[in-house]
Amino acid sequence: MNPVAGIDEVGRGPLAGPVVAAAVVLGHDHGIEGLNDSKKLSETMRERLAAEIHRHALGVGIGLCDVAEIESLNILGATLLAMRKAFAELPIPVDQVLIDGNRDPCIPGVDARLIVGGDASVPEISAASIVAKVHRDRLMRRLHQRHPEYGFDRHKGYGTRFHLEALQRFGPCPEHRASFLPVRQARLFQ
């Protein structure tokens, strides 16, 4: 029997940047302590755990959908596509996936089990949550280098007060999700 993969995503709610999913296969004796929902961990702890996961996991796959795909598919469609992309990047065969949430990405030939709150209770999903979050945060810090006026290094694209004020002042950049209401509204003022 092939091992099981956990899949989770980050970045559905932000106003800018990609949605990122990760698929992680852990061995039974992975030995990684402290796995949890990435939102419940400090940035330092996420970084440490992500490095351990990459070192000790049997397989890690990362998939993302950029802003153009989000605009084309809508955020839910892009999220499910990012999950399928992450699964496709796994270096080993998997027969079953454990997915955080209640939406099945419909991966052909694979049994999917949906687990609401799985990122806090299933080690494979927790690991995927951490890997996806760390990967997306790094992408947003790089995006900050190109567009420092928005403060992407601080809020990672989420609709904080600082970000909304920057949108009003500078208008959206190409990495903003034009179909999201605060971005649409900011465009009207430009």
Cβ neighbourhood burial of 123 (10 Å; 0-12, 13-18, 19+): middle
pTM for the structure as a whole: 0.95
Handedness of CA 39, 147, 85, 105 (dihedral sign): positive
User: CB of 5 within 8 A of CB of 97?
Assistant: yes
Q: Which two tokens stand for residue 67?
A: 């802003």
Please give the Cα distance from 16 to 2 (Å, whole number): 37
Domain boundaries 4-148, corresponding CATH code: 3.30.420.10
Do 119 and 37 touch, CB atoms closer than 8 A?
yes
**What are the residue boundaries of the structural domains of the chain, listed by start?**
4-148
Per-residue pLDDT of the chain (190 residues; tens, 9 = 90+): 678 999 999 999 999 999 999 999 998 888 899 999 999 999 999 999 999 999 999 999 999 999 999 999 999 999 999 999 999 999 999 989 999 999 999 999 999 999 999 999 999 999 999 999 999 999 999 999 999 999 999 999 999 999 999 999 999 999 999 999 999 988 665 5
Show the tokens assigned to 132: 């996806």
